[in-house]
Amino acid sequence: MYLDESLHININRALGMDKIFHTMHDFPYLNIAGKDKMGQTLLHHAASSGNVPAIEYLLRRGHPIDVTDYHSQTALFYAAKSCKADAVRVLLEHGAHLSFREGDDALTIIKACLIDYEPKVSKSVISGIVAPILSDKIDSPS
């Protein structure tokens, strides 16, 4: 297992944040946007596991927010698909695009995550971030 792969695994498991941050600090030239065998970066793994501190750290370090994996999916897609509303919120706040791979309905996936599964989070997310972007495309929860 090489260094990048072990970081992917640790971030995906949302374990060992201190170890992850120390490793990144100790290896400042580490390619934080390096891809694993599925084409996913550390940001994809952090988003799908809802690891908000890792997402914020990676974005502060300059990780590209809309990088796609080998299936043409972004971190936002995996956060929404995994129903990690806080991760969705953070990615949207940092300017993630609402476009997924052709054939995947971004609005439906985000709506399912934010409204159907996370109603308390969805109200603040929709009113503060998503509403200006999606306005008439998502109905506010009642």
Sorted by sequence, the CB contacts under 8 Å of residue 127 that are 6+ apart come out as 140
Can you give the pLDDT at residue 67? Answer: 93
Q: What is the pLDDT of residue 2?
A: 42
- Confidence at residue 82, expressed as pLDDT on a 0 to 100 scale: 85
Mean pLDDT by 10 residues, the chain (142 residues): 51 56 68 83 88 89 92 90 86 83 61 58 51 46 42
CATH superfamily of 3-137: Ankyrin repeat-containing domain (1.25.40.20)
Q: How many helices (DSSP H) and strands (DSSP E) are in the chain?
A: 9, 0
Q: Which of 11, 93, 10, 3 is nearest to 44 (CA)?
A: 11
Q: Looking at residue 136, what is its pLDDT? A: 42
